[in-house]
């Protein structure tokens, strides 16, 4: 306000004289620049401390943010390294599991093969025993059949060939033999 009052006083003096000095030439008007300089100087003087405090706190906030960002980056890189090592171990574990499953499959295949061969051997032996048993039974049955047929044929032959006098003679021999055996 003080500057504005001075400016009006000077302007009034120059208007009375009718001549405009060089510092008040339209377009240059030095008083505007002087007024701006005083305003900026007062602003700097009044706002220097709060502005420097605000800038300092802002700078410290930025430093803290940068440190936190670096820490987060380092943490993220550590996690990335851990995940990559897990992935590398995972590939190794997958390879081990594949190898183990292959060996287990081979062992199971071999076990099944041995089991199958043992079963086949048992079945062959059982079949051979059954064949032998069936052969013995058939032979026995054949002997019985042959004996039965022999007896039947002998009976027929005896009935055809034996005459009544041969029959009487045989009965007599049997009675004699029977009589000797009981004494």
pLDDT score of 1 more than 60:
no
pLDDT score of 19 more than 80:
no
pLDDT score of 3 more than 80:
no
Give the total number of structural domains in the chain: 1
For 129, the domain range is 2-11+20-158
| In contact, 14 and 21? CB cutoff 8 Å | yes
pLDDT score of 119 more than 90:
yes
Residue 84 domain-assigned?
Answer: yes
Residue 73 domain-assigned?
Answer: yes
- Token readout for 20 is 């405009």
Residue 171 domain-assigned?
Answer: no
3 compared with 123, residue with greater pLDDT: 123
The pLDDT score that the predictor gives to residue 182 is: 61
The listed range with the strongest mean pLDDT (3-12, 41-50, 57-66, 147-156) is 57-66
Residue 175 domain-assigned?
Answer: no
31 exposed, middle or buried (CB, 10 Å; 0-12, 13-18, 19+)? middle
What's the chain's average pLDDT? 83
| In contact, 24 and 30? CB cutoff 8 Å | yes
């Amino acid at each position: 306000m003080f500057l504005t009052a001075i400016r009006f006083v000077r302007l009034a003096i120059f208007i009375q004289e009718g001549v405009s000095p060089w510092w008040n030439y339209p377009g240059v008007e030095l008083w505007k620049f002087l007024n701006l300089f005083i305003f900026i100087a007062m602003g700097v003087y009044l706002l220097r401390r709060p502005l420097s405090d605000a800038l300092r706190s802002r700078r410290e906030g930025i430093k803290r943010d940068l440190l936190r960002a670096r820490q987060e980056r380092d943490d993220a890189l550590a996690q990335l390294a851990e995940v990559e090592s897990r992935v590398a171990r995972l590939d190794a574990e997958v390879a081990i599991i594949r190898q183990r499953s292959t060996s287990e499959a081979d062992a199971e295949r071999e076990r099944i093969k041995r089991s199958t061969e043992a079963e086949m051997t048992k079945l062959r032996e059982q079949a051979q025993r059954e064949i032998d048993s069936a052969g013995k039974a058939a032979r026995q049955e054949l002997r019985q059949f042959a004996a039965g047929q022999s007896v039947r044929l002998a009976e027929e032959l005896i009935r055809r060939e034996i005459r009544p006098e041969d029959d009487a003679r045989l009965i007599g021999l049997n009675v004699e033999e029977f009589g000797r055996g009981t004494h």
